[in-house]
Structures are given as C-alpha cells and as structure tokens.
Amino acid sequence: MDWNEKKIVLNYLQSLYLKEKKYGGFVILNTMYAKNKAIKKYEELSINDRELILKKIVVDYLIKESSKSLVLYNVHGDPNKRLLRLKELMYHKYNSMSSIERAIICDKILHN
C-alpha cells in the first residue's frame, strides 16, 4: 500500500472511532483519541485486511458516483435491484482496475 491508500484507510478507521465520543462534547479530545486508536488498529491489521478495507472504500465511492448517472437505470426497475447491480459492476471494475486508475481514484477520495 502506498501513502495515499494508507491515509484513506486511517481516515476510515478514525471516522469509526469518532462515533464513540468517549470524551463527551470535547471535540479535540475525541479527535485525538480516534486518531490514536485508528493508528493502533491499523498496525494490528494484516495486509489483507487493509486491502479489504481499501477495496470497500473505493467500491463505495464508485457506487456513490455512478448512482448519480443513468448507469443501469431501468424505467420500470426496482432501485434496490439497480443498487445490487451497481455493486456487482463496481466490484468487477475494481478487480480489473489498473494501478494508475486506482491511484487516480484514491487521489479523488482524499481530496473530497
């Protein structure tokens, strides 16, 4: 994993720990706690787990962006079926993606 991918996974883990609000309304203390906990959790994860988290983040981003368009839109279709088809398509896209495309998407995720 390169630096951008590591940063994306750390931001994701930090956002999970920010929801705990261990220190009540103290935003700075909660942020520091979440950041330290995320770094500790990241170091405990195996390489496969880190890549799975990154895959989930990238696929969710691709689904969110493609759902704004008319990709797989059917006039008489069900929105849930469309979402499932989008997930299937985006997982396939991620698996067939080149490293350059992955780097571009990671850069977009970081700057969003």
pLDDT of residue 109: 95
Q: Which amino acid does the sequence have at 2? A: D
Residue 55 belongs to a domain: yes
Residue 15 belongs to a domain: no
pLDDT of residue 23: 82
Residue 67 belongs to a domain: yes
Residue 34 belongs to a domain: no
- Alpha helix (H) residue ranges in the chain: 3-18, 27-44, 47-66, 79-95, 99-110
How many domains does the structure of the chain reveal?
A: 1
Residues of the chain with pLDDT under 50: none
Burial, 63: exposed, middle or buried (Cβ in 10 Å; 0-12, 13-18, 19+)? middle
Q: What is the pTM of this model?
A: 0.88
Residues in the chain: 112
Token match 């977009």: residue?
108
pLDDT of residue 85: 93
Residue 35 belongs to a domain: no
Residue 38 belongs to a domain: no
pLDDT of residue 1: 78
Residue 65 belongs to a domain: yes
pLDDT of residue 76: 82
Kindly list the distances between the CA atom of residue 76 and the CA atoms of 1, 63, 79, 83, 85, in Å, as whole numbers in the listed order: 42, 21, 9, 14, 15
- What is the crossing angle of helices 47-66 and 79-95, to 10°? 130
Q: Which domain holds residue 52?
A: 47-112
Residue 6 belongs to a domain: no
